[in-house]
Amino acid sequence: MKLFDIISTASTNTFRSKLRTILTILAIFIGAFTLTLTTGLGKGISHYIDDQLGSLGAEDVLLIMPTTDNGFSSPNDPPKTYDATKKTQNIESEGNRTIALMTEADLEKFRKIDGIESVTAYRQAAMDYVSGPNNQKLVGNLNLLLDGEKHATEVGQMPTNDSDVPQMMIPSNYAKALGFTDAGASVNQQITIGLTNGRGDAVTLAIANVGVSQKSILTSGFIYVNQAAMNKLVTLQNQGAPDSVSKYFQVATARLKSELPASKLTQVKADLKKLGFDGMTVQDQIGVIKTVINGIIAVLNGFAIIALLAAGFGIINTLLMSVQERTKEIGLMKAMGMNSGKIFLLFSFEAVILGFWGSFLGVMFAVATGFGINQILMNGLLKDLSGLQPLSFTLQSVAPIVAIVMGLAFAAGTLPAIRASRQDPINSLRYE
Amino acid sequence: MHQASRTLIQADHISKTYGRGTNAFTALSEVSLGVHEGETIAIVGKSGSGKSTLMHILALLDSPTAGVLSVNGKLASDMSSRDLARLRNQTFGFVFQQFFLNASSSVLDNVMLPLKIAGMGRRQRKQRALEVLEQVDLADKAKANAGDLSGGQKQRVVIARALVNDPKIIFADEPTGNLDSATGQLVENLLFRLNSERGITLVIVTHDADLARRCNRQVFIKDGQIATPVRRVTI
Ligand SMILES: Nc1ncnc2c1ncn2[C@@H]1O[C@H](COP(=O)(O)OP(=O)(O)OP(=O)(O)O)[C@@H](O)[C@H]1O
Ligand SMILES: [Mg+2]
């Protein structure tokens, strides 16, 4: 029998017992549908993270800090109002960056590490509040914009370290809270930052706001200022403080030697660790978040795969019944000279066809559902998270699902197919 | 009229035992028989005597527990399963008592099955199948569902299917057993016409005495053994 005839015969046979076939396909459909949605979700989220964080800094820059940074809070929460009595607590709870220090001596040690090209240190001021036209005092997370760091803006531009003019950028949800009519209205306006100086006095500095950053889960509440602004803020903060204070830096970045191999990078990080510091590339910062998300997606995928395995048993069951029903037919075909290998193929293809239809329809339906969900979420719940498309599908991500399910179906079909191919024509023909 | 022709199948001291130990049952013992080109043989005997078993062994559908079988001078035991399959596909045609038609597909599809197995192209096999349906007078039923035919029509479809590969031998197990005498007569005539017009050898298992008498010779099987010496009948 020719291959084409085997496939077309298998295809006809598959739909001989319609209800049974449809139920089996439905089981596969559910598994493939779920798997497509969960992988789509994983892809959607990881795309988003890459987009949002991928631009956080140049790839060959290592951020050196004595403590870990953890910038998580919901972008949908309104900024909190500054409360003077809770100043220190505010800094601790809101300032996710604990102010830890490094000295010139530390920097010297960093410079000696093999693989580090140059080290730049920054002083960082701790902000008490930010306030605008309505004089509301809001807490926030003051950040120095590092060289090479990029953020998507909603309006305006990012502050730049090339400028000697102090510049800042507020997050999207701060514009209205500070008293501007909208984000656009806050651009090129002066915004006041309040801090406490070395004598314990409240001081303020007005800085030009050059842009508004896009809403993002990852940098929510982050107010970015350029080097010029930070220098002024630091000077203000250090007024009246002992001279020793000005010797300290809060953050340092190290530019790595170009084309540094991964093993070398690991060594650099280990060397920093020995000195009591953490070195993190942008990739590391993304990596932590991605690992968590990948873990969650893996669990979801696991459920989908369990559904598919159950469907696999459905295929075995269906085909065993079909072999049983067609015992005489198999015997007849063998009597008429069909060899065992082709009988095996005939039933295997039947399994693969079940797998194909189940997964193809499941994937198609999942993609359609995914687009629907995207539309609903992007116009509703996730409206303000620009750039987040929760479910992402590509041919490359979806085609393997069909292929995997067909492979699984083939595997499930082997048991019934072997049983069919081993049948003795005489016993089959005597079978009542 | 077909005397002294070539031996197609030669069976020597064939035995067949089913089961083992205390359950062992010998369905055939020490049967020797030659099937010659162009002749018609009737295998007759009581129910359970071993007729079907013998036919299956002669048709290479089953293998004997002891004895030697050769086809066209070649030992069956020397043939690979692929050779056996090809031989069955190209040299033999089968007519079974229970028809074994695929009730849900068309008459044409049923008749084309051996050609499909042989790997013939779609157009060619359709043409060939229509030709044989014409021969059994069923060309008008080609598109009908095989399950919807009458018993006699079904048996003619089965004969068409047995013929479609242009076989040298047709093995028929009770070809008229399920039919009323008039339709049985029709099917019988069809088979014997194939023998006389095209020289197709017939091996027919039957307990119909009339049908047996129309054959060149009768092989009587009793309890798995040939009961009387082979008797030649000249027609
Ligand atoms: N697979 C088997 N296992 C055990 N015994 C079997 C098997 N096949 C056939 N037999 C036995 O072998 C004997 C011969 O069977 P066979 O089918 O050849 O009889 P038969 O002459 O064709 O009978 P009938 O006219 O009823 O078709 C019977 O007694 C049957 O029970
Ligand atoms: Mg019988």
Integer Cα distance of A380 and A94 in angstroms:
28
Among A1, A328, A335, select the one facing B116 at the smallest CB separation.
A1
How many residues appear in chain A? 432
Q: What predicted TM-score, i.e. pTM, was given to this entire model?
A: 0.72
In this structure, is residue B97 part of a structural domain? Answer: yes
Q: Do A337 and B88 count as a contact with CB atoms less than 8 A apart?
A: yes
- From A145, A227, A225, A152, select the one nearest A183 (Cα to Cα): A152
pLDDT value for B112: 95
**Residue having the nearest C-alpha atom to atom 22 of ligand 1:** B52
- From A192, A188, A186, select the one nearest A232 (Cα to Cα): A192
Integer Cα distance of A357 and A364 in angstroms:
10
From the CA of B53, how far away is ligand 2's center (Å)?
7
Q: Could you report the average pLDDT of every consecutive run of 10 residues in chain B (235 residues)?
A: 74 92 91 94 92 93 93 92 90 88 92 94 94 91 93 91 92 88 87 92 91 93 80 51
- CB-CB neighbors (< 8 A) of A5 in chain B: 116, 119
- From A221, A386, A236, A336, select the one nearest B86 (Cα to Cα): A336
Helix (H, G, I), strand (E, B), or coil: what is residue A71? coil
Among A1, A12, A426, select the one facing B117 at the smallest CB separation.
A1
Q: Domain of residue B184: give its range.
A: 39-51+81-231
Integer Cα distance of B34 and B32 in angstroms:
7
Backbone phi, psi, residue A235, to 5°? -60, -45
CATH number, domain with residue B88: 3.40.50.300
Q: How far is CA B201 from the centre of its chain?
A: 9
CB A402 within 8 A of CB A360: yes
Which tokens is A186 given? 């806050």
Which one of the ligands is nearest to B224 CA?
1
Q: CA dist B189 to B184, B186, B201, Å?
A: 9, 5, 14
Helix (H, G, I), strand (E, B), or coil: what is residue B226? strand
**Region A390-398 average pLDDT:** 87
Report the residue of A12, A336, A346 to disrupt the B interface, i.e. the one with the largest count of B CBs within 10 Å: A336
Q: CA dist A156 to A79, A176, A210, B190, Å?
A: 21, 16, 6, 95
pLDDT in tens, B152-200: 899 899 999 999 998 999 999 998 887 888 888 888 998 999 999 999 9
Q: Do A426 and B87 count as a contact with CB atoms less than 8 A apart?
A: no
In this structure, is residue B19 part of a structural domain? Answer: no
Written in H, E and C, the secondary structure of B40-92 is EEEEEECCCCCHHHHHHHHCCCCCCCEEEEEECCEEHHHCCHHHHHHHHHHCE
Handedness of CA B96, B101, B107, B108 (dihedral sign): negative
B100 touches chain A (CB under 8 A): yes
Type of residue found at A404: I
Domain-wise residue ranges, chain A: 3-54+288-430, 60-122+249-280, 124-242
pLDDT value for A85: 40
pLDDT in tens, A56-73: 555 678 888 774 434 444
**Region A10-27 average pLDDT:** 92
Which atom belonging to ligand 1 lies closest to the Cα atom of A426? 1
Q: Best mutation site among B52, B56, B220 for ligand 1, i.e. most ligand atoms within 8 A of its Cβ?
A: B52
Integer Cα distance of A173 and A157 in angstroms:
16
Tell whether ipTM is more than 0.85: yes
pLDDT value for A67: 47
In this structure, is residue B17 part of a structural domain? Answer: no
In this structure, is residue B92 part of a structural domain? Answer: yes
Which atom belonging to ligand 1 lies closest to the Cα atom of B221? 21
Instruction: Find the residue in A nearest to B101 (Cα).
Output: A329
Give A26: exposed, middle or buried? Use CB within 10 Å, 0-12, 13-18, 19+: middle
In this structure, is residue B110 part of a structural domain? Answer: yes
Integer Cα distance of A47 and A26 in angstroms:
31
Which tokens is A11 given? 């295809």
Helix (H, G, I), strand (E, B), or coil: what is residue A70? coil
Mean of the per-residue pLDDT values of chain A? 83
From the CA of B48, how far away is ligand 2's center (Å)?
7
B94 touches chain A (CB under 8 A): yes
**Region A110-132 average pLDDT:** 86
Q: Best mutation site among B15, B22, B44, B49 for ligand 1, i.e. most ligand atoms within 8 A of its Cβ?
A: B49
From the CA of A58, how far away is ligand 2's center (Å)?
86
Which one of the ligands is nearest to A431 CA?
1
In this structure, is residue B103 part of a structural domain? Answer: yes
Type of residue found at A322: S
Strand B40-45 versus strand B201-205 pairing type: parallel
Handedness of CA B133, B137, B139, B145 (dihedral sign): negative
Integer Cα distance of B185 and B171 in angstroms:
18
Backbone phi, psi, residue A68, to 5°? -85, 150
- CB-CB neighbors (< 8 A) of A2 in chain B: 116, 119
From the CA of B51, how far away is ligand 2's center (Å)?
6
| Residue A98 pLDDT grade (very low, low, confident, very high; cuts 50, 70, 90) | very low
Q: Do A340 and B81 count as a contact with CB atoms less than 8 A apart?
A: yes
Integer Cα distance of B44 and B222 in angstroms:
9
- CB-CB neighbors (< 8 A) of A333 in chain B: 113, 117
Helix (H, G, I), strand (E, B), or coil: what is residue B159? helix
Q: Do A338 and B104 count as a contact with CB atoms less than 8 A apart?
A: no
**Residue having the nearest C-alpha atom to atom 19 of ligand 1:** B48
Integer Cα distance of A45 and A33 in angstroms:
18
pLDDT value for A21: 94
CB A36 within 8 A of CB A300: no
Asked if residue A211 has pLDDT above 70, the reply is yes
Instruction: Report the range of poorest mean pLDDT among A163-172, A209-218, A231-240, B138-147.
Output: A209-218
Q: How is A394-430 classified by DSSP, letter by letter?
A: -HHHHHHHHHHHHHHHHHHHHHHHHHHHH--HHHHHH
Chains A and B: how many Cβ contacts under 8 Å?
56
For residue A213, the cross-strand partners are: A153, A171
Q: Do A336 and B96 count as a contact with CB atoms less than 8 A apart?
A: no
**Residue having the nearest C-alpha atom to atom 2 of ligand 1:** B18
Which tokens is B11 given? 């069976």
Which tokens is B76 given? 């069956």
Buried b (16+ CB within 10 A) or exposed e, A379-394: eeebeebeebbbbbbe
Handedness of CA A325, A331, A334, A336 (dihedral sign): negative
- CB-CB neighbors (< 8 A) of B168 in chain A: none
- CB-CB neighbors (< 8 A) of A342 in chain B: 117
Asked if residue A91 has pLDDT above 50, the reply is no
**Angstroms from B82 CA to nearest CA on chain A:** 7
Q: Do B114 and A328 count as a contact with CB atoms less than 8 A apart?
A: no
Asked if residue A318 has pLDDT above 70, the reply is yes
Asked if residue A96 has pLDDT above 50, the reply is no
- From A75, A154, A44, select the one nearest A388 (Cα to Cα): A44
Which tokens is A372 given? 């629907």
**Block residue for tokens 């510049």:** A167
**How many CB atoms are closer than 10 A to CB A228?**
18
Integer Cα distance of A175 and A167 in angstroms:
16
Residue list, ligand 1 pocket, CB within 6 Å = B 18-19, 25, 27, 45, 47-53
CB A28 within 8 A of CB A308: yes
Structural domains of chain B, count: 1
Which one of the ligands is nearest to A424 CA?
1
What CATH number labels A60-122+249-280?
A: 3.30.70
CB B69 within 8 A of CB B57: yes
pLDDT in tens, A242-298: 776 667 777 788 888 877 788 888 888 888 888 878 888 877 777 777 788 888 889
Among A2, A334, A339, select the one facing B82 at the smallest CB separation.
A339
